[in-house]
Amino acid sequence: MKLYYSPGSCSLAVHIVMQETEIDAELIRVDARKHVIEGGGSFYDVTDLGYVPILELDDGSTLREGPVIAQFLADQRPESGLAPTNGTMARYRLQEWLNFLTSEIHKGYIPLLYAVAAGKYVETAKPKLKSRFEWIDRQLDGRSHLMGDSFTVADAYLFALTGWGKATWIDSVYHADIDLTPLGNLRSWYERVRARPCVKRAMDLEGLTKAV
Ligand SMILES: N[C@@H](CCC(=O)N[C@@H](CS)C(=O)NCC(=O)O)C(=O)O
């Protein structure tokens, strides 16, 4: 298998899941802005959509969309507990989180990340994204992870997306102008996830670890 990724982007979530499941895949770095594969080649030859993450399976076919790839990997190692069994209510709860993260948070960042081009739209997009993060912060009250006691692929996804915000406790590569500092539950959760050996390994491999 091959994972096409771009450091610190949403593909970090899939990379974390890969480390957690101990699934072996070749990591292929992509410049997601230029759509160029490290070492040469156009990323458009891999996917005409031009975005990471892309998982190439051993038969040469590709799977796209981060939340789907993450669930696919988790289902290869059900014993990891990273995703509840298919068909259970808990699985739909996980998908509820993943869909929320992909539509309300991931894509909510876009106008902030492209602030100059986005112009005034930022003024409405930013409070909405902030309020979504505040909502997540409330969900994390008294909970160690999004789904309850254990780490799932939804935590991996939120971890990657939180990394695009601003706070002293975040290892950011993208710096969207959204201050997550006041969100104490989010911070505790972030630090808990950040301390997982597999998360650390994925971050080290992507060169994201803060120098201390
Ligand atoms: N719907 C896709 C979106 C992936 C996505 O937005 N990837 C970004 C990095 S976070 C990217 O590669 N952008 C480059 C581009 O769209 O040209 C998913 O959820 O996996």
pLDDT in tens, 123-168: 778 888 999 999 999 999 999 999 999 999 999 999 999 999 999 9
Residue percentage of the chain with pLDDT more than 90: 82
**CA-CA distances (angstroms) from residue 209 to 7, 19, 44, 169, 172?**
11, 16, 29, 12, 9
Residue 115 confidence (pLDDT): 66
Mean pLDDT estimate for the chain = 93
CB-CB contact of 180 with 172 (8 Å)? no
pLDDT number for residue 212: 39
User: Is 0.85 surpassed by the pTM of this model?
Assistant: no
C-alpha 55, offset from chain centre? 15
CA dihedral over 104, 28, 200, 18, signed as positive or negative? positive
The minimum-distance atom of ligand 1 relative to the CA of 160 is: 10
- pLDDT at site 56: 98
Number of H-type helices and E-type strands within the chain: 9, 5
Task: Please report the pLDDT score of residue 116 as a whole number.
Answer: 58
Q: Within 6 Å (CB) of ligand 1, which residues are found?
A: 6, 9-10, 32, 50-53, 65-66, 102
- Look at ligand 1, atom 6, and give the residue with the nearest C-alpha: 51
> How many angstroms does the Cα of residue 185 sit away from the middle of ligand 1?
27
| Cα torsion through 167, 111, 117, 45, rounded to 10 | 100
| Distance of CA 54 from the midpoint of ligand 1 (Å) | 10
The confidence score (pLDDT) of residue 117 equals: 61
State the pLDDT at residue 118.
Answer: 62
Q: Whose CA is nearest to atom 9 of ligand 1?
A: 9
Residue ranges of domains in the chain, CATH in brackets: 2-79 (3.40.30.10), 83-196 (1.20.1050.10)
Taking the C-alpha atoms of residue 18 and residue 80, their distance in angstroms, rounded to an integer, is 11
- Which ligand 1 atom is nearest residue 10's CA? 10
* Rounded Cα distance, 33 and 57, in Å: 24
> What is the whole-number distance in angstroms between the Cα of residue 53 and the centre of ligand 1?
7
Residue 125: CA atoms inside 13 Å, Cβ hemisphere, count? 21
pLDDT at position 204, please? 93
**Which residue in 56, 48, 67, 71 sits closest to 105, CA to CA?**
67
Closest residue by CA, ligand 1 atom 2: 65
pLDDT of residue 155: 98
Compute the distance from residue 62 Cα to the ligand 1 centre, in Å: 15
Q: From the CA of 44, how far away is ligand 1's center (Å)?
A: 13
Tokens of residue 174, six digits: 């993208």
